[in-house]
Amino acid sequence: MVSLDDIRAAAERVKPVARVTPLVDVSEAAGAPLFLKCESLQPGGAFKIRGAYNMVAQLTGDQRRRGVITFSSGNHGQAMALAARHLGAPAVVVMPTTAPAIKVEGAKGFGAEVIFAGTTSIDRRRRAEAEAAARGLTMVPPFDHEWIIAGQGTAGLEILDQLPSVGVVLVPIGGGGLIAGVAAAIKQLRPAVKVVGVEPAGAAAMKASVDAGHAVTLDKTETIADGLMPVRPGDLTFAHVQKYVDRIVTVSDPQIVDAVLWLFSKAKIVAEPSGAASVAAALAGMADDLAAGSPVVAIVSGGNMAMERLEELRRPSTHSGSSSRTSSGQAK
């Protein structure tokens, strides 16, 4: 399990590249004490730089010279490519064939070689492992590694520093790296603060795993939130969630779309659907009983969304789930 010392060391390590992102008060617009932790403003447009840089920075000189590889739906791939560029390492990113163009272009723009493989996290992991073995590359996994989790946990330290009165922290869940790190940081410093994970209803692998008492692999995932679609949580992230997370809730695609549009119109913040899931839960009052009037922080985990996508989300048909992505790559 990741210790508080691990997270504090990561905070020092990532200082050269990761920003201390702002905590924005949107209580008046939300009608309740609500603050947004804007990880969408990180280099690369998402929280992922924290974990990726923390890991690449700890590799040996030889490992960095030979290069690094990861498998990612987009944001982690961009973050690892950026970290690798800063630290002088060649980078390869394996992405799904359904990856949004803005994320593909971002990874390439940071100097990474991009390879496409299938539509599920399992597909791209297998291809990345094969490439790593064939080419002598070091794997930088997207979530299930102690260095990744420790790096993501630095966001939790910042929240406690920025808002000591926080009562609840809402965190989007994909593979679980962000919530594992944030929960480990918060619970080891302030056990009374509640940590709530948020998953799309069509991709709730972590909730299914917690309910079952062991990691569960879903047959498929289907959601508009392309960054929250792993069919299985990580073993290490699952263990952290079991130990530290108070609750996991699910939000529908229409609720996520509404949150994206609310953030844009009311808070003037661009958030991709994956990044807005936590806000969807906050606006639906899913943490009100735990907060008991104390401030809620929702982590806006990413903002990599093209303007054309925002226009698509404004169309009424989207609210019926018509633009959801599925693990098989089919549009619905």
Tens digits of residue pLDDT in 231-261: 999 999 999 999 999 999 999 999 999 999 9
Q: Which residue has the higher pLDDT, 311 or 247?
A: 247
The highest-confidence range among 69-78, 116-125, 261-270, by mean pLDDT, is: 261-270
Ordered by where they begin, the domains of the chain are: 4-46+145-326 (3.40.50.1100), 49-139 (3.40.50.1100)
Report strand pairing: 296-300 vs 168-172: parallel
Q: What is the pLDDT of residues 61-117, one digit of tens each?
A: 999 999 999 998 889 999 999 999 999 999 999 999 988 888 899 999 999 999 999
- 160-163: long-range contacts at Cβ-Cβ below 8 A with a sequence spacing of 24 or more? 160/185, 160/186, 160/189, 160/190, 160/193, 162/23, 163/23, 163/35, 163/295, 163/297
Average pLDDT of the residues in 125-140? 97
Angle at 288 between CA 38 and CA 194, to 5 degrees: 65
Inter-residue contact 212 to 316 (CB < 8 Å): no
Type and span of the H or E element at 68: strand 68-71
Digit-coded pLDDT (tens) for 203-214 = 999 999 999 999
Q: Tell me the two tokens of residue 132.
A: 């790593």
Active site residues: 48, 301
Question: Are the beta carbons of 168 and 141 closer than 8 angstroms?
Answer: no
Residue type, 90: P
Shortest CA distance to 300 belongs to which of 73, 35, 82? 35
> What is the rounded CA–CA span in Å between residue 235 and residue 176?
10
- pLDDT category at 308 given cuts 50, 70, 90 is confident
Distance CA(241)–CA(121), nearest Å, equals 20
pLDDT at residue 322, as a whole number: 36
| Residues forming beta bridges with residue 250, ordered by sequence position | 199
pLDDT at 256: 97
Please classify residue 287 by burial: count the beta carbons closer than 10 Å to its beta carbon, then call 0-12 exposed, 13-18 middle and 19+ buried: buried
pLDDT digits (tens, 9 = 90+) for 4-59: 999 999 999 999 999 999 999 999 999 999 999 999 999 999 999 999 999 999 99
pLDDT of 316 reads: 64
If you average pLDDT over residues 166-186, what whole number do you get? 98
- Of 45, 66, 98, 72, nearest to 224 (Cα)? 98
For the entire predicted model, the pTM comes to 0.92
Print the SS3 string covering 71-138. Answer: ECCCHHHHHHHHHHHHHCCCEEEEECCCCCHHHHHHHHHCCCEEEECCCCHHHHHHHHHHHHHHHCCE
Residue 83 to residue 177: CA distance in whole angstroms: 17
Place of tokens 């922080």: 297
What average pLDDT does the chain have? 93
